[in-house]
Amino acid sequence: MEKIKMTIPLVEMDGDEMTRVLWKLIKDELLLPFIDLKTEYYDLGLEYRNQTDDKVTTDSALATKKYGVAVKCATITPNAARVEEYHLKEMWKSPNGTIRAILDGTVFRAPIIVKGIEPYVKNWVKPITIARHAYGDVYKATEMKIPEAGKCELVYTKENGEEIRELIHEFKGAGIVQGMHNLNHSIESFARSCFNFAIDTKQDLWFSSKDTISKKYDHTFKDIFEEIYEKEYKEKFEGLGIEYFYTLIDDAVARVIRSNGGYIWACKNYDGDVMSDMLATAFGSLSMMTSVLVSPDGKYEYEAAHGTVQRHYYKYLKGEETSTNPIATIFAWTGALRKRGELDGNKELMVFADKLEQACIHTVESGKMTKDLAIITTLKEAEALNTEEFIKAVRHTLEASL
Ligand code: NAP
Ligand code: MG
């Protein structure tokens, strides 16, 4: 069989620990034998980030701006223990944070659905994609403990010195206070990323907040979404037969549970943090969650939602057998390859991405899976394979379909 050609490269961001091991296996077994793979390679493994004073992370994000599509392996976000373990010059920032800041994007997370791994909510037959706004609110808040009685105010000082004041509370005793903010520009980017992703994936878009209580703060989110929708997206949505729909966060929660899935749920930063973990768990497994960062100007970075699976890596280093699920990382590759194919008019690449995804799904549905799935599956005859065996089984299924 002749290998599939590529014209424009993908930005490839390698990573850490067990997912770095998976990365190589996936390329060797599932990609390189079938595709004349063209990538611009960036090593985001912690050692090389440290060597380059983390410049490699910035470079990889800039390359994503240039080429439009990236695929990223999970990476370590250093903490004090990692600084010691890797002898780091400093506690480098989270690569995902750095990349997100440069691309100014929104992260969309969606579960991979297979028969035999049943969601806890029986009626969820289609995936629910969650879009989390990744700037501001309580994550960039200033807080104060109020020790005793006193007045607390919000003060805004214009550049010309003029002040606007609002009373927060006349404290009669001790208490707490919090000041948070967001930026219209960031909310607009968030809204556009969501509308574009809905069009891309031809799914309805829901957005929820609490504008009845937060009449200025949350209401501004609602207004910005509404305005951008009416001006820039309404016609396209109607043309595709998809819907934009705003509702209160508590109403959204109730509707999500009753729904069959198959839409995108856009959430403010905190809601998205909480709800994405709820959805991941309710759909069955963290190792089956995909994640894509979409910038408002249409750049895409695909990855798995899980981390570097450190515990498995230490077993791997000791020469012990591992059973690490590569599916979300494979889907990061297929997402990127399909997008590359779409942008370059490369039909073959898109078909290959579909077939590789189907091969993963069919392999699991045939009862061959990694241990994380084997312990929760409803299939009667499930076989728990080790990491390499599972990837070989996917290759076998893939080859039969090509
Ligand atoms: P993790 O890598 O997501 O793994 C947590 C646990 O979830 C694992 O120990 C394993 O459970 C299970 N698991 C996750 N992915 C799996 C897979 N593909 N197959 C089988 N089981 C899987 O989280 P962590 O161990 O807390 O974090 C490790 C490192 O990842 C940290 O340094 C963190 O900074 C980084 N991280 C990176 C990203 C990213 O790059 N996007 C995201 C999150 C975390 P069992 O051990 O019970 O088998
Ligand atoms: Mg969280």
Task: Encode pLDDT of 218-266 as tens digits.
Answer: 999 999 999 999 999 999 999 999 999 999 999 999 999 999 999 999 9
Residue nearest (by alpha carbon) to ligand 1 atom 22: 287
Task: Encode pLDDT of 259-313 as tens digits.
Answer: 999 999 999 999 998 898 889 888 878 889 999 999 888 899 999 999 999 999 9
Beta strands in 4-126 (DSSP E): 10-14, 39-43, 69-72, 106-111
Residue whose C-alpha is closest to residue 246's, from 278, 288, 275, 204: 204
- Ligand 1 closest atom vs CA 327: 18
Residue 133 has pLDDT above 80, yes or no: yes
Task: Encode pLDDT of 27-67 as tens digits.
Answer: 999 999 999 999 999 999 999 999 999 999 999 999 999 99
Residue whose C-alpha is closest to residue 326's, from 349, 348, 355, 303: 303
Residue 346 has pLDDT above 90, yes or no: yes
Confidence at residue 29, expressed as pLDDT on a 0 to 100 scale: 98
Cβ contact 76:17 at 8 Å = yes
Task: Encode pLDDT of 355-369 as tens digits.
Answer: 999 999 999 999 999
Residue nearest (by alpha carbon) to ligand 1 atom 6: 309
Distance 260 CA to ligand 1 centre (A): 28
Q: DSSP 3-state assignment of 129?
A: strand
pTM, rounded to two decimals: 0.90
- For the chain, counts of helices (H) and of strands (E): 15, 16
Residue whose C-alpha is closest to residue 221's, from 178, 264, 265, 190: 190
Confidence at residue 261, expressed as pLDDT on a 0 to 100 scale: 95
Q: Which residues line ligand 1 (CB under 6 A)?
A: 74-77, 96, 286-287, 303, 306-311, 324-325, 372
Task: Encode pLDDT of 154-185 as tens digits.
Answer: 999 999 999 999 999 999 999 999 999 999 99
Q: DSSP 3-state assignment of 109?
A: strand
Residue nearest (by alpha carbon) to ligand 1 atom 5: 309
Residue 1 has pLDDT above 80, yes or no: no
Rounded-to-integer distance, Cα 372 and Cα 382, Å: 12
- Nearest 5°: the CA angle 92, 96, 101 is 95
